[in-house]
A and B are shown apart, each in its own frame.
Chain A
Amino acid sequence: MTHFFSVLGIWLGALFTFAIFSFLYKDNPFYKIAEQIFVGLSAGYWFVYTIFFILMPNLFNPLLQDFAVNWIKLIPAVLGILMLLRLIPSIDWVSRFPIALVIGTTSGIFFLRYLKSDVINQLTATIMNPFHGANWVNVVGQILLIVGTLSGVIYFYFSKKHEGAFGVTAKIGIYFLMVSFGAAFGYTAMARISLLIGRLQFLLGDWLGIINP
């Protein structure tokens, strides 16, 4: 029986893969069916997951097991319910209070962490002796890092007209930005092709058995 369901799962996977791929030819009912089943399944999965893996272990179970110790968990529970009042237009203003709390808390936590990790530590990593390196490749890399960082930041300084030496530096900054956009595009292309490879490895391996999965 387990084998039957395993084979059925592989066949369903293959058929849904083709149904989704068929959109590349043109929009069609097979694609629409596959898309809507995917959306429905995802919604159902997340609904069940939220109840069994978030609400139950973090709220219901602790309250039922030891209410005296865990009663404080009622506060986030009430705030969560207040957020849902957004669905009732006449009292939707109440939901602003829990949203304000979430935004305030998140900002506070993120401000500290991002300031340290994305500003101070990134800046510190750029403050170096560029000529201190094991080989010339390192030295060139470090010089490029410093020049790229400074010129890139200068490009985003808009309180002075980009002309003269300042404009040339900003122009160099643009070239560095363009290289980084190119790298990002390259990585994205690689990622998308990797997904296609994953699907084809499934079709040719698990489904057809032509290759070793």
Chain B
Amino acid sequence: MNASIILLLPFFSALVILLGHRQLKGAAVLISVGSSIISFIACLALLAAADDKDNTKLLLPFLDVGFLHANIDVMIDKQSRGMMFIVSFIGLLVHIFSLGYMKDDDAKPRFFGSLSLFMFSMTGIVLAGNLIMMFIFWELVGLSSYLLIGHWYQKASAAEASKKAFLTNRIGDFGFMIGILLLFGANHGSVNIEDLTTAFGPGGPLGVNAPGHSAGFTTAAALCIFLGAVGKSAQFPLHVWLPDAMEGPTPVSALIHAATMVAAGVYMLVRMSFLIEASPLAAEIIAGIGAFTALMAALMATQQNDIKRVLAYSTLSQLGYMVMAVGAMAMSVQHGHELHGPDPGHPAMFHLYTHAFFKAMLFLGSGAIIYACHHEQDIWKMGGLRKHMPVTFYTFAIGTAALMGVPLLSGFWSKEAVLGVAFDSGCKVLFLAGAATAALTAFYMTRLLIVAFFGKPRTDASHHAQEAPLVMILPLGILAIFSLFSAYDFFATPLQAMKPPHVEGHQTVFWASVLALLIGSGGAIYLYRGKNKDPISIKLFANKFYFDEMYAVIVRVCQDRLAWIVTALERVFVDGLVARLPTALVARLGAATRMLQGGHLQGYTFLLGGGVIAVIYLVVFVLPRLGH
């Protein structure tokens, strides 16, 4: 019951608003915010009923034919409950924040309609009980992301960014679909997540030691599924869409491109961890891609000047962290590390959970700044905001501290869990990459904080900045509280599944993260204190390793040029051989029988019709009689 409210309410809200927003006008906002409030309450009820048994229930039929059962199944367990809380809670706060941020936007109803569509699609991913349902909503979040990034579609950059996001995700979905097909085939038509977990688990017919197990197949299926996460969670090499997605309104960046949708890839991987655990090679590749993304994006972040871009690269980097944790966790399971407790949490989910709050808060904080500075996003044109916007400053500082992993804040615990599992994975490179990323994170976040909030205002915009209105500050404050405490048991009781049990004996990990924090922020304070322009300039990082340029060449050569060549070949050969050549031959022949040609198409068509009938008549009525 609760699950169907959470899922279907935003659907109807989106449908009503998107199809009728010119008639609805202001009511659209009420419908959307109202539906998100009710969803949140229903979600709390779902959490309160956490003692109920985990289950998968059929909610709505979709496709049910033969042994294909691709329906809307709702899967309620610890992970989906926890994730549902993140989605509906941050969703609600972002709806409230948007009331202020989008106040003067002409297309406000369309914005809120798309936001409801997003809430619907994201809920679908979280509750999905089978992979086809997951894929359906996976694509739908892609659509809502497309609509929201392109909210200001009149701007060429926004229009291009939305297209880029959709297409990059499509490449990921290409792999995801292949993975689903392989699992569908191997598991005899069931893509139910519980069934698959049993089939690939220890003792299952496709598990590691079973006769039906094929290492190559398992790796291929795991990597295909992973490609879906690479697209949605913006991992290397499909990471390029996420920074551009910052063209969307800032509340959207907070909700979709920081806290929830981009984390869906990680959520899906954790759901599919049975598959990754069955393949050592896939686990290593996933951990490697995650670590590489984390490090690479952190390097890029150090040289960005747009406040949202710094946060976007930071999101990339943190997503890399989570993906690395997924891979590393599978590796340590393969190495036989015992998991503690009856149903231990997953470090990737733990980091996803803490990250969702502080990163959403940082984005909303940046939104408040952008709003106050009249849509100025360059941090070097800010400065001194600490005095003008105290609430924003303090909350932003808390978020920054949590992200950097200052001890005792939420981010510290989850980062330590990630580094701990990297340490346990038996691959020292992962751990080192994780520690280096932690240092870089501390560096770029301290840089952002100093340049934007300290010193003197560098432009009029920042000089006249004023604290944002209450509807915008309130969500910041709530999220700040979560950023501080969300990792603690008293806060996270309904969300235990997120939190792995405390792992003992990781002195190395603890000191490494503290050291990384000191080096990173110390370096940034030393370099950036009192500066009015960037003292260091590294073109490679500022230009994002030239990925966009490389991909532009690839698209130009492999797609547009190829399309041009194929079109030319198709015209010459196919049309030439199949149509023109026979036509020419017939024309020669026809020169002799010119008499018949009158030159009117009507006549020809008539002849053709008559001819066909004549042939039918001959073949049907005359030929058989000749036989007798």
Same complex for A and B? Answer no
